[in-house]
Amino acid sequence: MKKYILKFSLLSLYLSFNTSHAQVSWEKVDAGGEFTAAIQSDGTLWTWGFNANGQLGSGNLIEQNEPFQVGLDTNWSEISTGAAHSLALKSDGSLWSWGLNFNGGIGNGTNLDVHAPMQIGTADYWDKIATGQGHSLAIKNDGTLWAWGFNTFGQVGNNTTVDVLVPTQIGTDTTWTNIAAGGAHSAGIKDDGTLWMWGIGHNGQLGTGETIAHLEPFQTGTDTSWTKVELGFEFSLGLQNDGTLWSWGFSVNGQTGLGGTSDFVFPTKIGSDTNWIDMSAGSTFGFGIKSDSTLYGWGYNAYGQLGTGDDVQQNIPIQIGTASNWINISAADGISDGTSVFGLHSVGLKSSEDGICVTGANYSGQLGIGTTNALESFDCSVGEFVLAVAELNHSDICVLYSTSQGVYTLSFNDENAMNNAELSLVNIEGKEIWKEQKESGDLTIDLTNYTNGIYLLKVNSLKGTTTYKLIR
C-alpha cells in the first residue's frame, strides 16, 4: 500500500506567493540489522524499525513503522547503521553514535546502551564511518584509521582480542581512503589502491587464502587497483578501478554471487562485466549497480529481500526489474543470535522517485511502510513528501504534527486573543478550500488528502488578520 507522509512548515507571510521552495529529497539511506536510517537534503535525520536498544536514536525504545525524525538538527551529512547501533557525521565533522553498546561499539567509554545521538569526543575532523555487528571504524580527514568496540576476533585491528571502548588509532598510516565493517571482520583501502583486512577469517572472508584470524590490518593480495570494499556478515565484496566486481568468503547462501555454495578464500571476479560502479554486502546477500544504473542482486532471498518478486535464492547476480535509474542500494547488516543471522531487508534510492525503495522482511517495521507486512518487490513510496521539522513554534500558534496519522494539531499560545478566531485555508490560486471558527482548546486539521503545493492559513482574531504560509 502506498504511504504518503505529509509535513508542513509554518512560516510568516513576510514571504510572497512566488517565493521559491526547493523540494526536499532523500540523499542517504542505510539498512541496519532490523532498522533503517536516512538523511534528507535538508540535513534532517530519520529512522524506523526495531528499537529495543535505542538504535532509532529517538530517546525511547518504541518501534516505529514509518520514518520518524530524530531531533531537530539539520546538519547531518553521513549515516552508517550496524547490526543494532549507528554512527553518523554532521557537516561540521563531528562524530555521533547511539544504540546497542554491550561491547563498546558506541565509543563513549562505557558498555551501556545509548538511546539518542551522543557526540563521541570533541573532534570535528572525522571523514568516513563504518559499522559492523558490534564494532565501529572511522577515518579522520588526515587519513588516519580509528576503531573501537567488539574485538573477540581482532576486528578492531589493534593486535588484541579485548573490547575497545573508545576510538583508538590503528597503526600510524595516514593513507586510508575507504573502510568497511562486517560481522566480525574489517577492511580498508589505502590511497595506493591496496586492500587490507583483519578480524575473523574462518570462512575465507579475509581473502588471504587462509581461514585464520588476523588481529591487525594485513594486506590481501598484491593488487593496487581497489577502489571500494563492502563487507557482509561473513563475506566480502570489492570493486576495482577497471569496473570489475570481486567476492570472497562464506557462500552457503550464494552471497558471494560466484555461482556456488562453497567458500572462496581468495578474491574472485564475479563474471566478466567491467561496468560495475557500486555494491552493497548485507547479512547473507548482496547487490551491485552497473554504470547504466541497473540493479542486480544475489544470495539469500527467503524474505524477498532481493526484490525479485519471489523468495528464490540466487547464486549469481540477477537483474532486479528493468529500472535504469538506481543511484543507491543498501542490504541490511547482519546480526546473529548465536545460531541464525538476521538482517533481511533492503533499501535504496532511484533518481526519479520521491520516496525510498524498500523490500524484504518487515516484522519490526524496518521497511517504513506503516505496517509489518513483508514485501517481495521494491516499493518506492516510503517517506514521500516528508518535509520540514516535527515541531515549529510561532508567537501565536504552535503546530504539532502526528507522523502516524498525517494530522496537525494547532495549539494557541494566547488563548484569550485567539478565541472565536476565524481560520481559513487558501490555495495558491486564492481559492478557499477550508474554513473553521476556532473555539476554546486546540484545533485539529486533517491534511492527508491535500495535494502538493503552497497554501495560506489565514487567522482573523482580536489581534487582526495574520497569514501564514504552509508548504506541502
pLDDT tens by residue, 89-116: 999 999 999 999 999 999 999 999 999 9
- Report the alpha-carbon distance of residue 215 to residue 358 in Å, rounded: 36
Residue 140 above 70 pLDDT?
A: yes
- Report the alpha-carbon distance of residue 140 to residue 80 in Å, rounded: 15
Q: How much is the pTM?
A: 0.81
Residue 85 above 80 pLDDT?
A: yes
| pLDDT at site 461 | 74
| pLDDT at site 410 | 67
Question: Locate cell 513528501: which residue?
Answer: 385
C-alpha cell at 124: 570535528
Q: Domains along the chain? A: 26-382 (2.130.10.30), 391-471 (2.60.40.3080)
C-alpha cell at 12: 510568516
- Report the alpha-carbon distance of residue 99 to residue 435 in Å, rounded: 45
Beta strands in 133-244 (DSSP E): 135-140, 145-149, 164-169, 176-181, 185-190, 195-199, 214-219, 226-231, 235-240
| pLDDT at site 12 | 30
Q: 171-203: per-residue pLDDT in tens?
A: 999 999 999 999 999 999 999 999 999 999 999
DSSP 4: B
C-alpha cell at 379: 516499493
Pick the range with the lowest mean pLDDT from 235-239, 347-351, 378-382, 443-447. 443-447
Contact, 56 vs 66, CB < 8 A?
A: no
pLDDT band at 1 (very low <50, low <70, confident <90, very high): very low
3-state secondary structure at position 415: helix
| pLDDT at site 400 | 52
| pLDDT at site 339 | 82
- Report the alpha-carbon distance of residue 347 to residue 368 in Å, rounded: 10
* Interior/surface letters 137-162, b for 16+ CB within 10 angstroms, e for the rest: bbbbeeebbbbbbbbbbbbbbbeeee
How much of the chain, in percent, has pLDDT values that exceed 90? 72
